[in-house]
A and B are shown apart, each in its own frame.
Chain A
Amino acid sequence: MKRLILLPVLFLVSNYIQGQTKINSATFGAMEARQLGPGTMSGRITAIEGVISDNKTIYTGTAGGGIWKSTNAGASWKPIFDKYCQSIGAIAVDQTKPDIVFAGTGESNMRNSVSIGNGLYKSTDGGENWSKLGLDSTEHIAKIVINPKNSDIVYVAAPGPLWSDSKHRGLYKTTDGGKTWNKILYINEKSGCADIALDPQNPETLYATTWEFRRLPYSFNSGGKGSGFYKSTDGGRSWKELKNGLPQKPFGRVAIALAPSNPKKLLAIVEAKETGLYISEDAGETWKNQSSTMNVTARPFYFSTIVFDPKDANRVYRPAFSFSYSNDGGYSFSEASNEGGWVHSDHHALWINPNYTNQMFLGTDGGVYFSMDRGATWLFVQNLPVGQFYHVAIDNQQPYRMYGGLQDNGSWIAPSAAPGGVGNANWMNIYFGDGFWTQPDLNDPHIAYAEYQGGNMGRINLTTLKSVNIQPQQTPKEEKLRWNWNTPIVIGIANPKNLYTGAQYLYRTKDQGRSWERISPDLTTNDKKKLQQEESGGLSADNTSAENHCTLFTITESPFDEKTIWVGTDDGNLQLTTDAGKTWTNVAKNYAAAGVPPQTWVSSIEPSKFDKNTVYATFDNHMYGDMKTYIAKSTDLGKTWHLINSPEFTGFAHKIKEDNKNKNLLFLGTENGLFASVNGGTDWFRMKSNIPEYALVRDIQIHPTTNDLVLATHGRGIIVLDDITPIRELTQSIADSAVYIFPSKPMTLSMGKYGSGGFPGNGGWTASNPSYTYTQPIQYYFKERLNSGDVKLNIYDEQGKLIQQVPGTKRKGINMVYWNLRYTPPKVATGGSKPDYSGFIAPMVMPGKYTIKISIGNKEYTSDLTLIPDNSDSSFQLSDRKAQHDAAMQLYQLHEKLYQLTTKINNNQKRLKASDTLMKTVKGKKILQDYNAALESLRSTLLATKSKSIFADESKLREQISELYRTLCTQEARPTELQTARIAQLQSEYEKAQKEYEAIDAKYAEQAQIAIEAEKQIGKGSGSRSSH
């Protein structure tokens, strides 16, 4: 029978010998990335919606970090959109059936760095599962409104594509819950629908605004003939334009609000030549202009939120630069005091609980805030790790530090590991403004370089956080310097003493920015048509350096030679020098020949570490409406190029990274995902491994010693995939084997590099430490998930003694199983008032050679494992470890001896008790009872037998052994003299007890046996006696 059961395993194993196995993310699924966040600066929030019926379920949509759900009013959050587009424009909850949720992808705060959506999604189970409803090409969705009286009717306002003309914009309507959609308001290919409001009492009455807008890489326009303000009273079948009292057209973006408690009352912020706030008291028929504060009229393309209190039509909120409110229906506004603490500026979303309108959630460029007093004071939600990094850099400290700058959130540093894990408190803010490149000084760990928008850069003392501005200045020999929004600041690879930056010229410093040398002419196209940023913005001028153009965008020094430098620009040039800047060659024409469009941003350049003539580059053409993923490779220093392509790719390309050790391993970060290739770029797969599948991956680093893959995401903070060695080592032939056991590398024996501290964290977001700071996994590979049979790892010491058994996992691909490097716990005396937890703890083993026998179904594989001493702790040498191990093992054995002794006593007592009930003679009874009493008296000295309370227990021999045993098992130190002496004392107490047991045994055992035998004889001899 047993044989029959095992047959399927054999079949499984033999069945998969033919054909090539695809290596993909599932192959490495056991490797789970750590999302480091942090939550301390968070990121841009675009939508917040609550469930009215329960007062505590909140959905938060983010600019690049998907959707997060809280079911406890913000105390904890869970990402619920990790398999889909991460840029969220709008969320709507069907309040009549709150498990129905709509999510529109593609944020509509149309700044330069805004991401792009891919349609509308619906969930019918509160966000657990989603299906796509369509509107795929709208790219940006501003609002979703559900008819409160018939939730099958839904409206979606889609401004549509930002970077190109498109028919896929306007106001869409469904009457069947999203199965089919009609476009019910459409102007032209340049103008979409920016906002919509619906009269809740009379839901056929709708107000909608249209918006003409467009970005180019070097300018922005908000406003035009296509912008307008419309009303429908028949659910969108016909529309009339609202004009009466509104300003002269053209309009720009118009934001509207309707008072739920008085639906005839509306507010509109109308972007026009004179932007203003307009009020209507008659359902939009006539409007009155109100003089408005700066905060009400500021940046209408970016701040498009105005909200009525759900119950009080006089109370109005304007979240914008800051938070203003009105108590007179919008006639006048005041600024909230923020006396409870700082609130991040730039607000985009506000949710007010209609049941209790003092309670509100505010979404800003730096996370979510919560108020219980109508916005007078705010509490920051510290556990939403949705920061928008542009770049990440790493250093050589132990643990290494991560450096990065974020959209509207400055520049930060954090260690990759810390006691208790990496939490909010481990992150240090070192520079301000919009953060981009942040670079370590690899020669001086106290110094870092960071910048804010427009090329403003500083050298920062990391101890004091005092900074010195080091931005290169214009001389009479140069034109006005042009700095990209995201100006490169880069340290050299061949020579880390070099620090580079670039305007339209390349600059290099060798003395930490105290002096700069310009080492190039203008490397851009210097196209004057693209240099009119002062006129950018459209109706409202908006020149924040975000549209600066014809600038350097990426700089890379060759790993082979500091004189070879690659420079990419935002206007389509890729320039190479091999003589440290004396002469430059533009290779743009060469990759254009391979199919990269002209003017394309050079988003990253990756010279190979394995061949000095090989270089990879990524190109980003999305600002011309082309979202394709462009990667090119040259093996002749840029003379000829070929495109690397894959059907897997989604999103425009930000960064390509070649592995440090395996030249065939490549990683690609795009606006919509992380991709990997293990065969030099021929085949690619999307990396999942706890990384959101469409994460905005802006930058990638690989640490030279820990082999960690470090990602800068624009919406999910820093993500680290620890130790990518398994990806490096997985060859096609391994992938093709049914089972493969990876040879184990020597493992360092240690209880881990870090302690845990005290109480868990300071709140906020905490990422665990890399598992390699504790121990290394034992790894094996399965071509298919193991369905039949079990996996067990048996670990033997050098003498061949089985010391541990660890259950194995059975997943397809690489499996990683951890042995805690300890023995099996001892058997601990039982029968006390409480269990003794020493039965769960074992001493660590000693350095040496071990054998692992891995049983998989009915097969067994053998692998060797060497444990080496940890030399990093000078206070805990090998001899100390030996002393500790031996001391712990003495107590281990003492526990086991005591177990034997108490088990003997327990068994004897059980036997005596059973006999006692049968015993009829008084003399016999007395012998048994005396025997039992003597045993009980001994037993009560061996372990706690009386229960008191949780914190007041007896301490007997077992407890005394345990106290010291647990101490010695859980720390790394040579035992103190007193500890060693204590062991001897406990041993002698045990021996005393053992002797006492023998004495009791000698005194009673024989008598008791005789009495029991006699009783048996009596019972056999005469049945009648029992009737006396």
Chain B
Amino acid sequence: MKLFKLPLVLGILLTTSTAFAQSAEEVISKHLTAIGGADTWKKINTMKMSGSITAQGMEIPVTMTTVNKKGFRLDLTIMDANNYQIVTDKEGWMFFPIQGQQKPEPMTADDVKEMQDQLDIQGELVDYKTKGSKVEFLGKDDMEGTEVLKIKLIEKSGKEKTMFFDAGNYYKLKESQKLKANGKEMEVATTFSNFKKLPEGITVPFTIESPNGPVTLKSVEVNPKVEDKIFKPAL
């Protein structure tokens, strides 16, 4: 059995290809530069986005209002009736008369947690380290034919998001995450396009496509005055 006594000399050494051309940090930094720079984003405290969802010719006006770290409100006007969803640092409410709701109802703790990401107006990538998130570079991929760089973001809460950046201009083209509801996981992807640079120096996508349909923005107001009361439910 002398064959087996020969120690590791015979062993074949195989190494993985861990040496990617780019690091996660580098991709994120280039992305932040491409959308105006972290410092510009840090000057933003409130934001109001208005636009519409178009579905077979029907236009549903949409407004999204955010106060950094405090509140987010989504309003949809469907057939002259206002439907809304509110998330604050503490709670969440929804009122969707279109779905037969008669009065505002509180969101479940799970749903609130999932939606509280919206409160971070700068986005999860600005100062991601201070926010307690970890990032991982997943390599190059192909998104609908466009070369993208894939980054996984693991937030402090453990929530994971996969982000796809255009390898040419470093805009974020897609984000996918697993949403938990009733103990089940559901993969939800959002894609971004129609990028525009605002006078305030930031670049934002004016078209946001999610499973609920595409939202096309008409205006994005930076640092408008927002009243606190809009984050309280009312009929």
B16 touches A133 (CB 8 A): yes
A842 touches B216 (CB 8 A): no
Taking the complex as formed, is A129 at the interface, i.e. its CB lies under 8 A from any CB of chain B?
yes
Taking the complex as formed, is B211 at the interface, i.e. its CB lies under 8 A from any CB of chain A?
no
Nearest Cβ on chain B to A284's Cβ, whole angstroms: 16
A839 touches B58 (CB 8 A): yes
Expressed in whole angstroms, the Cα–Cα distance for A785 and B216 within the complex equals: 17
The interface stretch among B22-30, B61-69, B119-127, B142-150 is B142-150
Q: Which of B7, B11, B17, B193 is close to A786, meaning CB atoms less than 8 Å apart?
A: B193
**Residue on B with the closest CB to A857?**
B194
Taking the complex as formed, is A183 at the interface, i.e. its CB lies under 8 A from any CB of chain B?
yes
Expressed in whole angstroms, the Cα–Cα distance for A235 and B68 within the complex equals: 56
Expressed in whole angstroms, the Cα–Cα distance for A842 and B207 within the complex equals: 26
Instruction: Please give, as numbers and ranges, the residues of chain B lying within 8 Å of A807 by CB-CB distance.
Output: 54, 214, 216
B14 touches A181 (CB 8 A): yes
Instruction: Please give, as numbers and ranges, the residues of chain B lying within 8 Å of A125 by CB-CB distance.
Output: 152, 160
A183 touches B79 (CB 8 A): no
The interface stretch among A565-573, A672-680, A819-827, A963-971 is A819-827
Most buried by A among B142, B169, B184: B142
B145 touches A185 (CB 8 A): no
Instruction: Please give, as numbers and ranges, the residues of chain B lying within 8 Å of A133 by CB-CB distance.
Output: 14, 16
Contacting B at CB under 8 A, from A618-641, are none
Taking the complex as formed, is A933 at the interface, i.e. its CB lies under 8 A from any CB of chain B?
no
Taking the complex as formed, is B56 at the interface, i.e. its CB lies under 8 A from any CB of chain A?
yes
Question: Contacts A240-B1, A840-B58 hold; do A813 and B145 have CB atoms under 8 A apart?
Answer: yes
Instruction: Please give, as numbers and ranges, the residues of chain A lying within 8 Å of B21 by CB-CB distance.
Output: none
Taking the complex as formed, is B75 at the interface, i.e. its CB lies under 8 A from any CB of chain A?
no
Instruction: Please give, as numbers and ranges, the residues of chain A lying within 8 Å of B207 by CB-CB distance.
Output: 790, 810
Q: Which of B3, B7, B166 is close to A187, meaning CB atoms less than 8 Å apart?
A: B3
Taking the complex as formed, is A204 at the interface, i.e. its CB lies under 8 A from any CB of chain B?
no
Q: Which of A134, A788, A828, A839 is close to B195, meaning CB atoms less than 8 Å apart?
A: A788
Expressed in whole angstroms, the Cα–Cα distance for A804 and B57 within the complex equals: 5
A835 touches B81 (CB 8 A): yes
**Bitwise interface map of B from 171 to 204 toward A, beta carbon under 8 Å scored 1, else 0:** 1010000000000110000000111110100000
Instruction: Please give, as numbers and ranges, the residues of chain B lying within 8 Å of A805 by CB-CB distance.
Output: 54, 57, 59
Nearest Cβ on chain A to B84's Cβ, whole angstroms: 15
Expressed in whole angstroms, the Cα–Cα distance for A787 and B173 within the complex equals: 9
Instruction: Please give, as numbers and ranges, the residues of chain B lying within 8 Å of A331 by CB-CB distance.
Output: none
Expressed in whole angstroms, the Cα–Cα distance for A824 and B55 within the complex equals: 9
Taking the complex as formed, is B5 at the interface, i.e. its CB lies under 8 A from any CB of chain A?
yes
A131 touches B16 (CB 8 A): yes
Most buried by B among A183, A790, A835: A835
How many chain-A residues does the 8 Å CB contact rule pick out?
Answer: 67
Contacting B at CB under 8 A, from A677-726, are 688
Taking the complex as formed, is B102 at the interface, i.e. its CB lies under 8 A from any CB of chain A?
yes
Instruction: Please give, as numbers and ranges, the residues of chain B lying within 8 Å of A131 by CB-CB distance.
Output: 16-17, 139
Expressed in whole angstroms, the Cα–Cα distance for A238 and B199 within the complex equals: 71
Expressed in whole angstroms, the Cα–Cα distance for A830 and B80 within the complex equals: 7
Taking the complex as formed, is B97 at the interface, i.e. its CB lies under 8 A from any CB of chain A?
yes
**Bitwise interface map of B from 78 to 98 toward A, beta carbon under 8 Å scored 1, else 0:** 111100000000000000011
Question: Contacts A790-B206, A825-B57 hold; do A239 and B4 have CB atoms under 8 A apart?
Answer: yes
Taking the complex as formed, is B13 at the interface, i.e. its CB lies under 8 A from any CB of chain A?
yes
Expressed in whole angstroms, the Cα–Cα distance for A580 and B94 within the complex equals: 77
**Residue on B with the closest CB to A824?**
B57
Question: Contacts A135-B14, A807-B214 hold; do A812 and B144 have CB atoms under 8 A apart?
Answer: yes
Q: Which of B14, B59, B185, B206 is close to A180, meaning CB atoms less than 8 Å apart?
A: B14
Contacting B at CB under 8 A, from A60-84, are 71-72
Taking the complex as formed, is B112 at the interface, i.e. its CB lies under 8 A from any CB of chain A?
no
Taking the complex as formed, is B222 at the interface, i.e. its CB lies under 8 A from any CB of chain A?
no
A181 touches B4 (CB 8 A): no
Instruction: Please give, as numbers and ranges, the residues of chain B lying within 8 Å of A836 by CB-CB distance.
Output: 79
Taking the complex as formed, is A400 at the interface, i.e. its CB lies under 8 A from any CB of chain B?
no
Instruction: Please give, as numbers and ranges, the residues of chain B lying within 8 Å of A978 by CB-CB distance.
Output: none
**Residue on B with the closest CB to A124?**
B136
Contacting B at CB under 8 A, from A302-355, are none
Q: Which of B4, B10, B57, B197 is close to A5, meaning CB atoms less than 8 Å apart?
A: B197
Instruction: Please give, as numbers and ranges, the residues of chain B lying within 8 Å of A813 by CB-CB distance.
Output: 144-145
B57 touches A842 (CB 8 A): yes
B56 touches A806 (CB 8 A): yes
Most buried by B among A72, A135, A183: A183
B145 touches A822 (CB 8 A): no
**Residue on B with the closest CB to A83?**
B141
Instruction: Please give, as numbers and ranges, the residues of chain B lying within 8 Å of A688 by CB-CB distance.
Output: 142
B146 touches A785 (CB 8 A): yes
Nearest Cβ on chain A to B16's Cβ, whole angstroms: 5
Expressed in whole angstroms, the Cα–Cα distance for A940 and B79 within the complex equals: 18
Taking the complex as formed, is A595 at the interface, i.e. its CB lies under 8 A from any CB of chain B?
no
Instruction: Please give, as numbers and ranges, the residues of chain A lying within 8 Å of B3 by CB-CB distance.
Output: 186-187
Taking the complex as formed, is B8 at the interface, i.e. its CB lies under 8 A from any CB of chain A?
yes
Taking the complex as formed, is B15 at the interface, i.e. its CB lies under 8 A from any CB of chain A?
yes
Most buried by B among A30, A787, A792, A836: A787
Nearest Cβ on chain A to B62's Cβ, whole angstroms: 13
**Bitwise interface map of A from 822 to 861 toward B, beta carbon under 8 Å scored 1, else 0:** 1111011011001110011010000000000000000000
Taking the complex as formed, is A670 at the interface, i.e. its CB lies under 8 A from any CB of chain B?
no
Taking the complex as formed, is B44 at the interface, i.e. its CB lies under 8 A from any CB of chain A?
no
**Residue on A with the closest CB to B169?**
A787
Expressed in whole angstroms, the Cα–Cα distance for A839 and B138 within the complex equals: 45
Nearest Cβ on chain B to A960's Cβ, whole angstroms: 18
B145 touches A183 (CB 8 A): no
Nearest Cβ on chain A to B197's Cβ, whole angstroms: 7
Instruction: Please give, as numbers and ranges, the residues of chain B lying within 8 Å of A148 by CB-CB distance.
Output: none
Taking the complex as formed, is B234 at the interface, i.e. its CB lies under 8 A from any CB of chain A?
no
Nearest Cβ on chain A to B133's Cβ, whole angstroms: 16
A824 touches B58 (CB 8 A): yes
Expressed in whole angstroms, the Cα–Cα distance for A828 and B152 within the complex equals: 45
A182 touches B13 (CB 8 A): yes
B80 touches A183 (CB 8 A): no
**Residue on A with the closest CB to B13?**
A180
Instruction: Please give, as numbers and ranges, the residues of chain A lying within 8 Å of B1 by CB-CB distance.
Output: 239-241
**Residue on A with the closest CB to B142?**
A26
Q: Which of B79, B102, B214 is close to A835, meaning CB atoms less than 8 Å apart?
A: B79
B144 touches A823 (CB 8 A): no
A790 touches B57 (CB 8 A): no
A811 touches B16 (CB 8 A): no
Question: Contacts A179-B15, A181-B14, A238-B4 hold; do A842 and B145 have CB atoms under 8 A apart?
Answer: no
Taking the complex as formed, is A474 at the interface, i.e. its CB lies under 8 A from any CB of chain B?
no
Taking the complex as formed, is B12 at the interface, i.e. its CB lies under 8 A from any CB of chain A?
yes
Instruction: Please give, as numbers and ranges, the residues of chain A lying within 8 Å of B81 by CB-CB distance.
Output: 830, 835
**Residue on B with the closest CB to A808?**
B214
Q: Which of A134, A806, A950 is close to B15, meaning CB atoms less than 8 Å apart?
A: A134
A26 touches B79 (CB 8 A): no
Instruction: Please give, as numbers and ranges, the residues of chain A lying within 8 Å of B184 by CB-CB distance.
Output: 71-72
Instruction: Please give, as numbers and ranges, the residues of chain A lying within 8 Å of B152 by CB-CB distance.
Output: 125, 129
Expressed in whole angstroms, the Cα–Cα distance for A396 and B214 within the complex equals: 40
Nearest Cβ on chain B to A629's Cβ, whole angstroms: 22
B145 touches A26 (CB 8 A): yes
Instruction: Please give, as numbers and ranges, the residues of chain A lying within 8 Å of B7 by CB-CB distance.
Output: 237
Expressed in whole angstroms, the Cα–Cα distance for A238 and B2 within the complex equals: 10
B169 touches A134 (CB 8 A): no
Q: Give me 26 A-to-B residue pairs in the complex whose CB atoms sit less than 8 angstroms apart, sorted by A's number.
A: A25-B145, A128-B162, A129-B139, A131-B17, A133-B14, A134-B15, A179-B16, A181-B11, A187-B3, A237-B7, A239-B4, A786-B193, A787-B166, A787-B169, A787-B195, A788-B196, A790-B193, A803-B57, A807-B54, A810-B194, A812-B144, A813-B144, A830-B79, A830-B81, A834-B100, A835-B78
Closest 9 CB pairs of A and B: A26-B145, A182-B11, A824-B57, A134-B14, A812-B145, A830-B80, A811-B144, A785-B146, A239-B4
Question: Which of B's residues lie within 8 Å of A, judged by CB?
Answer: 1, 3-5, 7-8, 10-18, 54-59, 78-81, 97-98, 100, 102, 138-139, 142, 144-146, 150, 152, 160, 162, 166, 169, 171, 173, 184-185, 193-197, 199, 206-207, 214, 216
Q: Knowing that A26-B146, A811-B144 are A-B contacts, what are 5 other residue pairs whose CB atoms are under 8 Å apart, sorted by A's residue number?
A: A129-B150, A132-B17, A186-B3, A823-B57, A828-B79
